[in-house]
Every structure is written in structure tokens, then in C-alpha cells.
Amino acid sequence: MKLKFTKMHGAGNDFIVIDAINQQVDFTAAQWQALADRRFGIGADQILVVETASQPGCDFRYRIFNNDGGEVEQCGNGARAFVKFVAEKGLTGKAQITVETKAGIISPRLESEGSVTVDMGAPVLEPAAIPFDADGLSGQPEGRDTLWPLLLELGGEREQVQVSVVSMGNPHAVQVVADVDLAPVELTGPLIEHHPRFPKRVNAGFMQLMSRQHIKLRVFERGAGETLACGTGACAAAVAGIRRGLLDSPVTVDARGGRLSIAWAGEGQPVYLTGPAVTVFEGEITV
Ligand SMILES: N[C@H](CCC[C@H](N)C(=O)O)C(=O)O
């Protein structure tokens, strides 16, 4: 069959976006992985699938598949691409839409100057709900946050890192580093992603504090490796920094692929993510 798709990115985090309302789409994880493969397929960090909503009051349903073919709960940069896609395809006449995801309902809004702001919902902070297994660990309280020790086996050496754990519907482990460009992201990112204390694996964030309202951030993403930007990762990093008393809202987040802005008024409040959404090309592939 011929499958139409649109290639998009949000601050360099790139996506294949598929209209599954007007096309029959029902693939296995292996088939999603093949589409996302950068050599044998189209290539993308994630695949975003647009479906009709099943919940009343929602405009669409949004499914997300990582580069490894696994379906996940949430994608912040993807939510911005999503609202731009449905507007450009004429699937909605609204600038602000309500979208059903595995993690709950989010509400992206297309701004007049072309950026997108997404109400990503409130962060989940209870370790067990991340999910993070804190049994037997003594966390170190800092401000309203808790830093958890993670023991990493680095080729016979043992290294301990201190992480904040935050869920934006998907799990994040965030640490502060002195210099993101020198941080061992390729080395420790996979070790954190697959750490046994994260039963659903985890996205590993590395943030450098530039000021109380500005960070640099790199994220080794679950199921995708290091991406040029991670929207939920930016939300998680800002939430962790604010809770630790290191950051004040709004926070400018400089990822390697572009700039995001995060606003959060505190526990129980939604996190707002603002940033770019770009359409790169349209395509068709035989599957
Ligand atoms: N790798 C993430 C999904 C994509 C998140 C990221 N691309 C974003 O913009 O939030 C996970 O497995 O939870």
C-alpha cells in the first residue's frame, strides 16, 4: 500500500506524521521501527499518528512511536507538530485543539506568529508513579525535590549520579551537570535509560544552569537515543530545577536543535511548553 506522510521537526526533534483518519494504518512495532530507520526507512526520532478521538470533547487522538518502534505516552515537541499538521491538512479549523494521548489530554495552541504553546498537564512527582523503584534508597531532600542516587556500572568502574525523577506522562531522570557539552551523555545516557530502577526505562536529562531562568539541556531519550531537543524533557528539567530552588518560571531551555520555553506555577499546576513546529517535506512510501 502507499502511505502518505509529512516530515516535521520541533527544534530539531524530528517526526514522521501520519494521517490515520483518512488512511488505514495498523502496523507492528517492527514496521514502525522500519519506517523510522534512518538508513532503510524514512528516518525519525518518533512517528506521530493522528486518529479520531474516542473520548467525548476531544478533537483528536495522538499516538506516538519511538524510533525503536515502541509506543509511548507523550511527546511534547510532537504535540506542537501535531497541531500544525492538522491545521495545514485542514483536519481542523481550530487554532487550539484538545488531544487525547496515552498520558491523558493535552491542549496545543497554534500562536499567530507560528510557534505553538502546549498545556502539557501537571507533572507527576511521586516516585512510584514515574515509575521509579526507590526501595532501599535514601533520597536527599533539596527544596521541594528529592535527589536519588543512581549507581552506574561503567566498564568495571562504578559511578553514582544524583537524579530528580519527574513524569510528564512519560518518565524522566534529570541531573544537573557543570557543562552539557562535556557531559558523558553517550556513555551514561544508555545506562540511565536502562537502569533497573526504571521498570519502563527512562529519558535521561542533563541540564546546565546558565541563570535562574535559563538552562542548556541535552536528553538521551528512551527508545531514540540523544535527540536535538526533547519537549517533555524540557518540561521535566524545568520542573526539577524549580522544585530544587535553582530555577524560576518561565525557564528558557536551549537544546542543541533550538530554543523552548517552559512555564510552571507549581505543584498541581499544568506545565506550558512553547516552541517551534516546522514542516520539512511531504512524502509517500510503499509499505
Ligand atoms: N522518547 C520519549 C518520547 C518522545 C519524547 C520527546 N521527543 C518529546 O518531545 O517530549 C519517551 O520514550 O518517553
- Mean pLDDT, to the nearest integer, of 224-245? 98
For the chain, which residues make up each domain, given as ranges?
2-121+276-286, 127-269
Q: How far is the CA of 87 from the centre of ligand 1 (A)?
A: 22
CA of 74 to the centre of ligand 1 (A): 6
Choosing from 48, 167, 218, 230 the residue with most ligand 1 atoms within 8 A of its CB, the one to mutate for a pocket test is 230
Mutation test residue for ligand 1: of 72, 219, 259, the one with most atoms within 8 Å of CB: 72
- The residue whose CB lies within 8 Å of the most ligand 1 atoms, and thus the one to mutate among 64, 68, 165, 232, is 232
Q: Is 235 a catalytic residue?
A: no
Atom 3, ligand 1: which residue's CA is nearest?
75
Q: How far apart are CA 126 and CA 115, in angstroms?
A: 32
Between the alpha carbon of residue 84 and those of residues 102, 214, 256, the distances in Å are: 20, 27, 22
d(CA 46, CA 68): 9
Class of domain 127-269: alpha beta
- Residues 212-229 have a mean pLDDT of 98
| Residue of 18, 35, 44, 75 marked catalytic | 75
Residue 230 designated active-site: yes
Q: Which triple of cell numbers denotes residue 118?
A: 502546549
Q: Which of 48, 230, 238, 253 is catalytic?
A: 230
Residue-wise pLDDT for 267-277, tens only, equals 999 999 999 99
**pLDDT per residue as tens digits for the range 42-86:** 999 999 999 999 999 999 999 999 999 999 999 999 999 999 999
C-alpha 156 – ligand 1 centre gap (Å) = 30
Residue identifier of the C-alpha nearest atom 12 of ligand 1: 222
Mean pLDDT of 225-243: 98
Query: What does the block give as the cell for 189?
Result: 545516557
Q: Which CATH superfamily is domain 2-121+276-286 in?
A: Diaminopimelate Epimerase; Chain A, domain 1 (3.10.310.10)
ipTM score assigned to the predicted complex = 0.98
Nearest CA to ligand 1 atom 13: 170
| 2-121+276-286 and 127-269: identical CATH topology | yes
Query: H-helix or E-strand containing 42?
Result: none
Tell me, what's the pLDDT at 155? Answer: 84
CB under 6 Å to ligand 1: residues?
13, 45-46, 66, 72, 75-78, 170, 203, 221-224, 227, 230-232
CA of residue 236 to ligand 1 center, whole Å:
11
* Consecutive H or E run containing 263: strand 258-264
- 66 contact partners, CB below 8 Å, separation of at least 6: 36, 45, 46, 72, 221, 222, 223, 224
Give CA–CA dist 268/130, Å, rounded.
15
Instruction: Look at residue 154 in the predicted model and tell me its pLDDT.
Output: 86
Residue reference for cell 529519558: 203
What is the pLDDT at residue 41? 97
